Amino acid sequence: MACDVALMARARRTGDAVFRVYAWDRPTLSFGRHESARHQYDAAAIAAAGVDVVRRPTGGRALLHDHEVTYSIAAPIVPGESLMASVRQFNQMLLRALQRLGVPAEEAIEPRALRPEGAACFAVPAAGELTLNGRKLVGSAQVRQDGALLQHGSILLDDDQGLIAGFATGPYLPPASAASLRDALGADASYGAVRDALADVVAADADCSPEALALTLDDALVDRAAFDQAMTHFRDPAWTWRR
């Protein structure tokens, strides 16, 4: 999370955009920026299950990062472009990558209302989110601050999101079955396959090779001062359990 916030700070400063794809060292439960979590989830139960916890700078609801691919997009805001317009643009990139893999994903059309409390990110698809056979496959959320944006998203390799219900302390929406790349691709579903498909699409949009766009997250790429400040912020339980 700190790295993504630092990339947003860099986008604000330089005008450059960075598309990042990553996995997590340990299973991690992430809460949305404004989600009620302190009285909704059992911190002791989460820790006992060997799961870390963090709160995202972007919105949405609880999400288990384990059998999935996480992406982030840090970019300057295009003058006059709305949040929904940029989300649609990013969705088209994701759809092209999924099509390269042979996954017939599509955007959800009908909005489905769901309160942030008492439900996980993949419980139901919202309008504009990517689905497979009517079930949510990709969860995304975007935040905008001072001329830059950060969009987070999760592409499920396997559906293990039902495990989140075991950490809930209060009323919880029964987990719906989410879509996963395993459903569509079987054994061919892998982090590497998704990463490479995304790299091919981004490179095609930039009219260059994937290798030319491959970067290492070092001090030359990450805004170091913003990263150090964000690390302190995201490690603080007062932020993680702030509400």
List, in sequence order, every residue forming a beta bridge with 156; answer none if it has no partner: 68
Residue 119: HSE in the Cβ half-sphere, 13 Å Cα cutoff: 16
pLDDT of residue 157: 97
Q: Report CA-CA distances (Å) from 149 to 87, 117, 146.
A: 11, 25, 8
How far apart are alpha carbons 110 and 103 in whole angstroms? 21
122: CB partners within 8 A, 6+ apart: 63, 136, 139, 156, 159, 161, 175, 176, 178
E strands, 41-188, in order: 52-55, 63-65, 68-76, 106-107, 130-132, 135-145, 148-156
Kindly name the residue from 73, 101, 121, 201 that is annotated as catalytic.
Answer: 121
User: Tokens 């029964």 identify what position?
Assistant: 174
This prediction has a pTM of 0.90
Q: Whose CA is closest to 140, among 150, 152, 156, 126? A: 152
Note down pLDDT in tens along the chain; length 243 residues. Answer: 999 999 999 999 999 999 999 999 999 999 999 999 999 999 999 999 999 999 999 998 999 999 999 999 999 999 999 999 999 999 999 999 999 999 999 998 765 555 555 567 776 667 778 999 888 999 999 999 999 999 999 999 999 998 999 999 977 765 567 899 999 999 899 999 999 999 999 988 877 777 767 766 665 567 788 889 999 999 999 999 999
Per the annotation, the verdict on 3 as an active-site residue is no
Question: What domains lie within the chain, and their CATH numbers?
Answer: 2-240 (3.30.930.10)
The mean predicted confidence, pLDDT, of the chain is 89
- Per residue in 187-226, pLDDT (tens digit) is 899 999 999 999 999 988 877 777 767 766 665 567 788 8
Q: Whose CA is closest to 161, among 69, 62, 71, 78? A: 62
How far apart are alpha carbons 185 and 191 in whole angstroms? 12
Q: Whose CA is closest to 175, among 183, 187, 184, 166? A: 166
